[in-house]
Amino acid sequence: MTSKIWGGRFQSATDAVLEAINVSIDFDKRLGPQDIRGSLAHIAMLAEQGVVAPEDAARITEGLTRIAGEMERGEFQFSRTLEDIHMNAESRLAELIGPAAGRLHTARSRNDQVATDFRLYIRDDIDALDAQLADLQLALVERAMEEAGSVMPGFTHLQSAQPVTLGHHLLAYVEMIGRDRGRLRDARSRLNECPLGAAALAGTSFPIDRHMTAKALDFDRPTANSLDSVSDRDFVLETLSAAAICATHLSRFAEEIVLWSTPQFNFISLSDKFTTGSSIMPQKRNPDAAELVRGKSGRIIGALQALLIVMKGLPLAYSKDMQEDKEGAFDSLDSLSLCIAAMAGMVRDMKVNRERMKAAAGAGFATATDLADWLVRKLNLPFREAHHVTGRVVALAEGKGVGLEELTLADLQSVEPRISEDVFAVLGVEKSVESRVSYGGTAPDNVRKQAQSWLDRLKER
């Protein structure tokens, strides 16, 4: 017999390489609080059901409470020879209270234990991310309100398309983040079932009350199938998938911040708080935080892929491969949290160069669609024909090296004689955005209304 908790049938010690590949305490120690919480619920239930005597249960509860305190104060001594968080906690319990500690693991396995711990952990993390995302939305909405009338170029293919407002652009991200929060909420509600009591895979012969432990741990109900309970990691996959989509949104915005803060665009300036210098080029102000948000999306997306690949070939029920679910998940959710904080900081802090954005908004004949729409409205041309006429006007302006609103009436009439003086009212960028009053469009009044409705919703919660 070896000294391991599971060592009854083993004659000799494990190889150092096995220990090295098997050990998980370095990363799963952060499940300590969840592990103790699960054990407390389990022992209370065992006592209630008469499976463990009240005196033993009381000592176990006392010991676990002490361990929780030790972990909280950073005094707990984690040992790598004890493999993982579950055995570290149990072994410390034995040190504290003696052989009665051995009764805690009745009707339980590390398989249902780790599934429970990880669900509790992910649930807490989702709640924390949701609060952070709400704060980022608030930062965006407040800026959107200030910039509701600030005209900027809207792009398709990164070519000037039509003028929009910065407020409208920022609110686009508020919508995306709203859906990200919805996805996290969905994941949370689906994961909120308690696997504890599924034991190793088949359930147990002890008269346990799984509804009691589920309730004590704030789960909606116990999981229904013991095999599924210990095999399922789709609660992690779903959360990582929501994280990957969210990171993709943040990365796109980060890319825009990188672009907008170049001297060539010069739409925004990041403050010293969110820029770094170069060790060789004294003029540089580098948007490192935005670049890292863009960059970290790589590892967040990677964590999802890695776990999908780990899971896809596993027969039921538990296999040790599943221990590989944690590092990627921790890294993904930690990284996402940092990215959200960095984005909120940059949004609150950035200076908007309104004049420069407005000037850029007119470049590239961005009001050509407004001219075409005018031709449809005033001259009753079919849109396709109006498009053609406008194309010729654009070519004329391009040839003369001027913007559309700088052409003379005679220039315009040389293409279409029926064009009249009032066309100039639609050729300016401000008029253009003001005219986009359709529901969800970029008109400043729309943007203010949308921003207000988001403010109301964000303050409700």
Report the catalytic residues: 157, 278
Q: What is the residue type of 134?
A: A
Q: How far is the CB of 360 from ligand ARG (least distance, A)?
A: 53
Could you tell me the two tokens for 382? 């079919």
- Site for ligand ARG contains 111 (CB under 6 A): yes
Give strand ranges (E) for 270-377.
Answer: 351-352
Min CB(28)–ligand ARG separation in Å = 6
Assess 450 for contact with ligand ARG (CB under 6 A): no
Q: Does 323 bind ligand ARG (CB under 6 A)?
A: yes
Cβ 270 to ligand ARG, closest distance in Å? 41
Nearer to ligand ARG, 318 or 454 (CB): 318
Q: Interaction with ligand ARG in 300-319: which residues (CB under 6 A)?
A: 318
Task: Give whichever of 78 and 155 is closer to ligand ARG, judged by the CB atom.
Answer: 78
Closer by beta carbon to ligand ARG, 323 or else 369: 323
Query: Could you tell me which stretch among 94-102, 109-117, 270-278, 288-296 binds ligand ARG (CB under 6 A)?
Result: 109-117
171, 247, 322, 389: residue in contact with ligand ARG (rule CB under 6 A):
322
Interactions with ligand ARG, residue window 373-402 (CB under 6 A)? none
For tokens 């993709």, the residue is 248
Q: Assess 84 for contact with ligand ARG (CB under 6 A).
A: yes
Q: Which two tokens stand for residue 155?
A: 């792009």
DSSP string for 46-74: HHHTTSS-HHHHHHHHHHHHHHHHHHHTT
Long-range Cβ contacts of 248-254 (<8 Å, 24+ apart): 248/297, 248/301, 249/173, 249/176, 249/177, 249/180, 250/293, 250/297, 250/339, 250/340, 250/343, 251/293, 251/294, 251/297, 253/173, 253/293, 253/343, 254/290, 254/291, 254/293, 254/294, 254/339, 254/343
Which of 111/213 has CB closer to ligand ARG? 111
Rounded to 5°, the CA angle 93-99-105 comes to: 65
Footprint of ligand ARG on 8-27 (CB under 6 A): 24
Give CA–CA dist 255/294, Å, rounded.
7
233 binds ligand ARG (CB under 6 A): no
Give the nearer residue to ligand ARG in terms of CB position, either 150 or 323.
Answer: 323
| Binding-site ranges for ligand ARG (CB under 6 A) | 24, 28, 84, 110-111, 114, 318, 320, 322-323
